[in-house]
Amino acid sequence: MKSPEDSRGSQQRLKLRKLFRRIPKGAASIILILLLCAVFSPWLAPHNPIEQNLGAALKPPFWQGGGTMDHLLGTDNLGRDILSRIIYGARISVIVGFVGVILAGAVGTLLGVIAGYFGGKIDAVIMRLTDIMLSLPFILVGIAIIGAIGPSLTNVVIVLGITQWVGYTRIIRFEAMSLSRSEFIEMAVISGCRWWRILLVHILPNVLNSAVVLATLDVGKMIIIEAAFSFLGLGVKPPTATWGAMLADGRLYMTVAWWIVTFPGLAIFATVLAGNLIGDWLRDELDPRHQLKA
């Protein structure tokens, strides 16, 4: 006979299977390829991404005259292999996308839960803070901060964390607010539950769905912002391969070598598109209100 534990487990498995049945397959494959590239770049990349070979500079992709199978997507102005640089660049994008989202999401969700639960003056202060953050031209502020503290991967991620939390706070606050008026929270208060326990055990798990959906939709945004910083020379230091820096290099050689600027851009586009599709899917699955609309 099955124990209740078992049937609960299989029910959850059924739920999960139902959830993943409608996952956009193309988008999921793109994300999978991206993760594989990021983790196994030394094994997947045919060349060293930063090794220069001026003898083989500006080689076109293999299908165009002058291209070779050795450099499938051609080489850049310094003879570096484009495909290898894109594969290594995936590392930076994955790190920035995920760590940035986790940082911003954690800060934003925490502030949102606090604002929504306590209300009153605390809420007013946090809300004005989000207004201030929203009205700041954040690309400019981000660039100014990175320009000041120096460009590096860590600094880019920190800047993303401290500038991108606002979206989470606004939505989570709203949910925490209506939750804190519900009966089970009242019961928790009556039974003498401490405020931090109410926040962590009772409210946080109930707003996590929304936070995860927002975070998924945000990964692409983080990757685009990092690419923008690198593009302006304020991201990860060269010669590290990043998609944004490749675009900056390629822009100067656009007239003679279209491939340098095209492929990293396509990589960003595909990644962000996949992230958005996965985010949309998660939102439809996890947020019943949205299902009605779609």
User: Which span (46-54, 167-175, 187-195, 256-264) binds another protein, by CB under 8 A?
Assistant: 256-264
d(CA 139, CA 160) in angstroms, rounded, equals: 10
288 touches another protein by CB under 8 A: no
d(CA 267, CA 60) in angstroms, rounded, equals: 18
Short-list 178, 181, 162, 158, CA closest to 111:
162
Site size toward another protein (CB under 8 A) is 40
Q: How far is the CB of 254 from another protein (least distance, A)?
A: 5
Short-list 251, 261, 278, CA closest to 74:
261
1 touches another protein by CB under 8 A: no
92 touches another protein by CB under 8 A: no
Choice from 8, 128, 194, 197 touching another protein (CB under 8 A): 128
User: Which span (71-79, 103-111, 189-197, 222-230) binds another protein, by CB under 8 A?
Assistant: 222-230
d(CA 68, CA 270) in angstroms, rounded, equals: 25
33 touches another protein by CB under 8 A: no
Short-list 96, 80, 30, CA closest to 228:
96
148 touches another protein by CB under 8 A: yes
Which of 112/250 has CB closer to another protein? Answer: 250
Choice from 25, 140, 181, 288 touching another protein (CB under 8 A): 140
Q: How far is the CB of 186 from another protein (least distance, A)?
A: 28
Q: Any bridge partners for residue 167, and if so which?
A: none
39 touches another protein by CB under 8 A: no
Strand, helix or coil for residue 279: helix
Short-list 211, 200, 140, 136, CA closest to 171:
211
Take residue 263 and report the two structure tokens written for it: 């492929």
User: Which span (46-54, 77-85, 114-122, 255-263) binds another protein, by CB under 8 A?
Assistant: 255-263
Q: How many helices (H) and strands (E) does the chain have?
A: 14, 0
Short-list 84, 80, 73, CA closest to 37:
84
Residue type (1 letter), 237: K
User: Which span (28-36, 112-120, 125-133, 185-193) binds another protein, by CB under 8 A?
Assistant: 125-133
122 touches another protein by CB under 8 A: no
Q: Interface with another protein by CB under 8 A: which residues?
A: 128-129, 131-132, 134-137, 139-141, 143-145, 147-149, 220, 224, 227-228, 231-232, 247, 250-251, 254-255, 258, 261-262, 265, 268-269, 272-273, 276-277, 280, 293
